Structure 1
């Protein structure tokens, strides 16, 4: 594969993962909300939302399909791109995950 094609597919991988990060804000927020209200609050690292008194089950029932659907979409979008990028699998998947989390991180920082 020539250098031009490698750069084209590398740029495609960056664009795909950043664009997937925009709707990925919803599952990332659901994970953060769940973690901050139950496991992290139980360890004393965060404080629970005082109006959150329904328990964990509604959040698990709500978040599981959303997270599963997003993970499937993310994997299906990245699989064909991964085959054409010059990075190895051990580097491609973590970099793709970090790029997908970039919009959530940006929104959380603002």
Structure 2
């Protein structure tokens, strides 16, 4: 059963549900980073403070890193058992974990 493509996709869809929070934390960090003027996002204006994202990185970084490590630990054994090539497997699993976040952003009021 793990040789099919839909098993890793289903597992990554399920992993993507709790990954919504770290994905939004990562988006917050990327949008408030000093290099945000590159056209990807616009920086949130504040009251003349020069806040760096270091405090947010201190709080969000461990959760983002832990989520990435858990995702890799869950997918590493599956990658060996599937018939997909390595590139296709990792693209499928990365897409699968992003789908719940994209759906949550789309349907958010």
With the shorter chain as reference, the TM-score category is 0.7 to 0.9
Selected match of 2:54 from 54, 57, 71:
57
Partner of 1:68: 65
Q: TM-score, normalised by structure 1?
A: 0.81
**Structure 1: any 5+ residue segments left out of the alignment?**
none
Greater displacement, 42-51 / 97-106 = 42-51
RMSD: 2.1
Contiguous gaps of at least 5 residues in structure 2: none
Across the two proteins, how many residue pairs are aligned to each other?
Answer: 105
TM-score w.r.t. length of structure 2? 0.81
Shift of 1:109: 1.4
Query: Could you give the per-residue CA deviations for residues 48-103 of structure 1, whole angstroms, max 9, x where no partner exists?
Result: 22348542111111222111100110011111111111001111112111110000
Q: Relative to total residues, which structure has the larger helix share, 1 or 2? A: 1
Whole-angstrom CA distance in 2 between matches of 1:22 and 1:81: 19
